Amino acid sequence: MRRLLLLTFLVAAFAGAGQVATAHATSPCGTISASTTLTADCAAPLTVGASGITVDLGGHSVVCDTPVLLAFEIPPQISGATVKNGSVHGGLSSCFQDVLIEGASNQLTSFRALDATGTGIVISGDSNRLVLVTANFNGQDGLSIVEADHNFVRQGTFAANGRNGVSLSLGDVNTITRNRTFLNDGDGIRVGAGSTATVVDENHAFLNDTGIEFTQESTASLAALNQTYQNNVGIRIDGSTGNSVVLNGSYANHTWDMEDDNTNCDSNNWLNNLFSTANQGCIG
């Protein structure tokens, strides 16, 4: 009942954001190759066509008036571009994926990715920076970082997605900091196979299946100063090794506040955390 009430509240809270572009787009977005400020909504897809430019959506939206696989893309050859102040969401139909960032050293800020039937935002390029992004109500993950290194995600909101709020796999030295991730069907933040030296710090993860999880074949990551509460499990390490879990607060979770499925925690260090319940005595 509590989860249902909170979901109802969330839908109401984001109703304004989701309805920014209910009017039909009058023209296709196309490829933008010079710094531009949009003056109206446009129809997906939108492609950033040059490095170093700024695309300011001016509060407008890339709208999926007809079904498309991908609404907005920064291709592999593009670097140093900035996209800000707008959103991607379903209009008459829905995008399978809202955002794909394949290039390196780009920035996405003050941007919303809503209602994709697949994943809201996918990053497959290196050294990109996401600040104040929102990825909610997507059918799969809110944000997925795949085969990409040195990306930085700060002050985002990832809520009510069909799988995970944030998911990482096959990448090194990515940082997830000061985000909120809640009401996701899977993990709030999932550090998956092939992820090394991921930093997960100062996030709030609540009302997910697991708040923060490090899965098998991820290694040497840091979880610090996070708050995980009212999940099934707060912080869980499932087969992952060489991690440090320090100075986190995990409380009021339903099964365990903290869980390590390795025998005697293997090479994981649990230090100076605040919690009530844990599945092993090696958790501290």
pLDDT in tens, 181-225: 999 999 999 999 999 999 999 999 999 999 999 999 999 999 999
**Domain that includes residue 23, residue range:** 2-275
Query: Do the domain assignments include residue 284?
Result: no
pLDDT digits 0-9 by tens, 259-271: 999 999 999 999 9
Query: Do the domain assignments include residue 143?
Result: yes
At a CB cut-off of 8 Å and minimum separation 6, what does 263 contact? Answer: none
Query: Do the domain assignments include residue 238?
Result: yes
Query: Do the domain assignments include residue 217?
Result: yes
- What residue has token string 């092939």? 194
User: Which is more confident, 7 or 208?
Assistant: 208
- Give yes or no for a contact between 108 and 99, defined as CB atoms under 8 angstroms apart: yes
- Give yes or no for a contact between 43 and 65, defined as CB atoms under 8 angstroms apart: yes
Largest CA distance in the chain: 62
Number of domains in the chain: 1
Query: Do the domain assignments include residue 139?
Result: yes
How far, in Å, CA of 54 to CA of 110, rounded?
13
Q: State the CATH number of the domain containing residue 172.
A: 2.160.20.10
Structure tokens at 8: 């109802």
Query: Do the domain assignments include residue 283?
Result: no
Query: Do the domain assignments include residue 281?
Result: no
Query: Do the domain assignments include residue 149?
Result: yes
